[in-house]
A and B are shown apart, each in its own frame.
Chain A
Amino acid sequence: MNNFLFGRYLPGNSWVHQMSPQSKLMLSFYFVIVIFFANNLASYAALAALIAIVILLSGVSILFFLKGIRPLIWLIIFTVALQILFSAGGTVLWKWGPFSVTNLSLINGGFIFIRFLLIIMISTVLTLTTTPLAIADGVQTVLKPLKKVKFPVDTLALMLSIALRFVPTLMDEMETILNAQRSRGVDFGSGSLKHRVQAAVPLLVPLFTGAINHAENLSTAMEARGFSDSEHRSKYRIYRWQLKDTVSWLVFLLVGGLVLYLRK
C-alpha cells in the first residue's frame, strides 16, 4: 500500500483543496494537452513555473511528488534513453553501431523528461488534494453531457465510487489470502515463470469468489436500503464551481496562450 499513490488523499485546506473536483479534473486534462504544444525552452519554463505555483498553493510537501515519480522512474529513463539513442538529425556527437547521440536528440530527450515530470506533477496534485469520492463525483459532473446520448453516467459514477471504496478492502483480503496460502505451503514470487503463474491461481480464485460474494451481499444491502436505480437519487455532497475555479482557469488559459505564443 505504501507505494500506492492513487487515492492517497492528503487532507488539507489549501487553495487547491478547496477547488471543485470537476474543475480540477478538467484543468489537469487541459494542462496535459498544453504540455504537448510546448516545444522550446521558453514554453516549458512557463509551464514549469505554473506547476511550481500550483504545488506551492496546494501546501503539499515536495517529498510526496518525488514519491509519485519513483514507481515510474524506470519507464522515464527507458523512454528518454531510447529518444536520445535513436533519434536522427543534428550534429553527431557520438556514434556506435546503430546508436548515436546528437545535440538534437539530447535536447529532445530533455524535453521528454520534462514532459513526464510535468504530467506526473499535475496528476499527483490532483490525487493528493482530492478524495477518491470527490474524483468520482467530478467524473460524474464532467461526463454529464453524455447523458444526452443515453450514456449511463450516474451508474458509471456509482460503480466508480463503489470500486474505489472496495480497493482497500480487497487489498486487505488479498494480504490475508496470501498469508493463508503461504501458511499452507504455497510459494509466491519465486521459481520459473510457469511456476509463478501456477502459484497465482490459489490467490486469484478465492479473491474472485470473495469479490462475487461481496457484490451479492452489497447489492442485497443496497436494495434493503431502498436503492432502486442510480438516476432517481438526491445527493449528499455537492461540489460547486467557485470563484477559485474561475480564477484558476483564467490563469491556466493565460499560460496556455503564452505557450502557444512562445512555441516555435
Chain B
Amino acid sequence: MKDIIQVKNISFNYADQPLLFDNLSLNVHEGEWLALIGQNGSGKSTLARLIDGLNVLKQGQIIVDGLLVNDENILDVRNKIGMVFQNPEDQFVGATVEDDVAFGLENRQVDRKQMHHIVESSLKNVNMWDFRDRIPANLSGGQKQRVAIAGIVALSPQIIILDEATSMLDPRGRQDILNLVREIKAKNHLTVISITHDIDEAAGADRVVVINHGKKIDEDVPDKIFSNTEQLAQIGLDAPYTSQLIAALKRKGVNLNQQYLDSERLIAWIKQLVSNK
C-alpha cells in the first residue's frame, strides 16, 4: 500500500520550550483509518498541525501525497487535507451554515454557479441542507461539527484529520459524527487520521499509533494495542470497555486467553460460553 503521508525524522519544539519531537518518523497508508492516541501534551495535535503546515518544521521532512510540506507547496498540501478541529464554535467562519461551507470554496476562487451546486450536495451529504439559513448560535455542537465536515467534503480532500473533533460532543453526537465520517471515507476513498482520547473511537480504527511525550511508543492494529493494557495504563490511558470486562470476568474465574475483543466478538464468545454449559 502506498504511504500517503510520510513523516521523516522530524524534530520540533515551540519557542522557549524543550524538544517536543526528537527524530520522529511515521507513515500513514493510503485509504486507512489511523488513530493517534496519547495523553494530553503528548504532541498529537502538534503533529496534525505540522502535517497541515500550520506549524513550521525545523528539522526533518513531511511529505503529503508526494508533496514536501514547505512554504511553496503549502496551498497544494492544504488542498489535499481537510481538518476538523476540537471546538465547534471556533471553526465556524461563515455567518450562516451555507456561507461557512462556501468559505473554503471561496478561498479557492471556485466559480459561483459551481459553488452553489457543491454547497448543496455537501450539505445534503451531512443532512444539514434544511439548516442552511441558520446562524451558528442556533445550532447544537454536533450540528456545527456536521457543518465543519460539510465544509471539508465540499473541497473533496484526500485526507481528513479529526483533531479531537468529537471531544466536546455527547456520546450520541460523537457516534453520529464518526458514522458520518466513516460513510464519507468509504464513498470517497479517503484516508482518515483521528486524534483522540476516546479509546472506543480508536478501537474502530484500522491502525493505532500510540504517542507519549513526543515519541511513538507503539503502532499496531487495535486488537494488539488494546491487549497490552499495562502499556496503556503506564502512559495514563484507559483500557477499552471490553478489555475491562474481560479482566473482570477473569477475576471471577472465567478464562479467556485473549486480552481484547471488540464488543461483537465478545458477545459472540459469551453466547458460545453460555450455550456450552
B103 cross-chain contacts in A, Cβ below 8 A:
222, 225, 227
B116 cross-chain contacts in A, Cβ below 8 A:
236
Contact A161/B95 with A225-B107, A228-B107, A235-B112 known, Cβ cut-off 8 Å: yes
CB distance from B166 to the nearest CB of A (A): 16
* Cβ–Cβ contact A236 & B52, under 8 A: no
Among residues of B, the one whose C-beta sits closest to the C-beta of A162 is B93
* Cβ–Cβ contact B90 & A226, under 8 A: no
Contact A214/B90 with A225-B107, A226-B104 known, Cβ cut-off 8 Å: yes
B94 interface residue, CB < 8 Å from A? yes
Among residues of B, the one whose C-beta sits closest to the C-beta of A218 is B90
CB distance from A53 to the nearest CB of B (A): 29
B83 cross-chain contacts in A, Cβ below 8 A:
221, 224
- Tell me the count of chain B residues lying within 8 A, CB to CB, of chain A: 41
A165 interface residue, CB < 8 Å from B? yes
A138 interface residue, CB < 8 Å from B? no
Binding site for A on B (CB under 8 A): 49, 52, 54, 75, 78-79, 81-83, 85, 87, 89-96, 98-99, 102-112, 115-116, 119, 135-137, 151-152, 155
* Cβ–Cβ contact A169 & B89, under 8 A: yes
A238 cross-chain contacts in B, Cβ below 8 A:
112
Q: Could you pull out 16 A-B pairs where Cβ atoms are within 8 angstroms? A: A133-B96, A165-B95, A168-B136, A172-B137, A214-B89, A218-B90, A221-B85, A221-B93, A223-B54, A225-B151, A226-B155, A236-B98, A236-B105, A236-B106, A236-B115, A238-B112
Contact A222/B93 with A165-B135, A234-B106, A235-B106 known, Cβ cut-off 8 Å: yes
* Cβ–Cβ contact A234 & B89, under 8 A: no
A234 to B103, CA, bound (A): 9
A179 interface residue, CB < 8 Å from B? no
Contact A237/B99 with A224-B83, A226-B155 known, Cβ cut-off 8 Å: yes
- Tell me the count of chain A residues lying within 8 A, CB to CB, of chain B: 31
* Cβ–Cβ contact B91 & A218, under 8 A: yes
* Cβ–Cβ contact B90 & A232, under 8 A: no
* Cβ–Cβ contact B99 & A133, under 8 A: yes
A235 to B54, CA, bound (A): 25
* Cβ–Cβ contact A168 & B107, under 8 A: no
Contact partner of A217 (CB less than 8 A), chosen from B85, B94, B151, B155, is: B85
CB distance from B78 to the nearest CB of A (A): 5
A238 to B78, CA, bound (A): 27
* Cβ–Cβ contact B111 & A234, under 8 A: yes
A217 cross-chain contacts in B, Cβ below 8 A:
85, 87, 90-91
Encoded as 1 (CB less than 8 Å from any B CB) or 0, chain A from 199 to 235 comes to: 0000000000000011001101111111110001111
